[in-house]
């Protein structure tokens, strides 16, 4: 059994609840609509993962999603950009292995904002044990089309080992679908991060609710 881990002592940050962590990258139906559906579904978190070059548009999107999520149970996370996260008073920021070091980002954002870190190997999971982060992303578990240059596929088998050695809650990511949840060690992760499975769904609201509910049910039944 994998133990639930809580935030470090003396920190006021909201905990990331178990469930579907929705990542928004150019969703077909628009960022705002999917964010509204996520709030309605009670998802734990929505991450803005904007990859365009229009910085003013990036900030405007972040402000809009912050307005939509403010006061709800859905946390708002900004990908890559601690400066924008601070500008819009987001709940957190998520960084990658090639972004600013986690320690520098933590100093910048303070103790009240969530900080997530992407990891793509067991070595990186182990190295993250000493980083001032609140959770780690682990993947890609399966092949994904959400990145122009995706990291090498890890496969579902390593998720259990990552859960064993990680000092932080894990968000599993990469090509995850409703069917593939049945093949994952759901006790090894607190959340599943989904992009295309929701963004390309005929009914995104129904799909995100189904993924969130099924994950919670299956995770609980396997304890």
Residues with catalytic annotation?
49, 118, 147
Say if residue 144 carries a ligand binding annotation: yes
Say if residue 157 carries a ligand binding annotation: no
Say if CB 88 and CB 71 are below 8 A apart. no
Say if residue 49 carries a ligand binding annotation: yes
Say if residue 8 carries a ligand binding annotation: no
Say if residue 191 carries a ligand binding annotation: no
Say if residue 145 carries a ligand binding annotation: yes
Coil, helix or strand at residue 189: coil
Q: What is the DSSP track for 112-130? A: SSEEEEEE-SHHHHHHGGG
**What single DSSP character describes residue 19?**
E
Say if residue 207 carries a ligand binding annotation: no
Provide the 10 A C-beta neighbour count for residue 70.
Answer: 14
Say if CB 167 and CB 117 are below 8 A apart. no
Residue with tokens 């609710």: 209
Residue list for the binding site for Mg(2+):
80, 99
Residue list for the binding site:
47-51, 79-80, 99, 118, 144-147, 175, 195-196
């Amino acid at each position: 059994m994998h133990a639930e881990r809580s935030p470090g002592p003396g920190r006021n940050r909201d905990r990331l609840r178990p469930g579907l962590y929705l990542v928004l990258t150019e969703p077909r139906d628009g960022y705002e609509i999917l964010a509204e559906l996520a709030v309605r579904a009670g998802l734990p978190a929505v991450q803005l993962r904007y990859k365009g070059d229009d910085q003013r548009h990036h900030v405007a999107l972040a402000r809009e999603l912050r307005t939509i999520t403010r006061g709800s149970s859905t946390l708002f996370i900004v990908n890559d950009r601690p400066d924008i996260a601070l500008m819009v008073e987001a709940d957190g920021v998520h960084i990658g292995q090639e972004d600013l070091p986690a320690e520098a980002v933590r100093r910048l954002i303070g103790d009240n904002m969530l900080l997530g870190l992407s990891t793509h190997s067991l070595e990186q999971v182990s190295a993250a044990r000493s980083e001032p982060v609140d959770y780690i992303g682990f993947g890609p578990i399966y092949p994904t089309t959400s990145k122009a240059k995706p990291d090498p596929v890890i496969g579902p088998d390593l998720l259990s080992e990552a859960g064993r050695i990680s000092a932080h809650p894990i968000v599993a990511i990469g090509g995850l679908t409703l069917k593939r949840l049945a093949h994952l060690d759901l006790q090894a992760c607190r959340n599943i991060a989904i992009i295309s499975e929701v963004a390309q769904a005929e009914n995104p609201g129904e799909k995100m609710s189904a993924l969130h509910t099924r994950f919670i049910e299956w995770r609980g039944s396997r304890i």
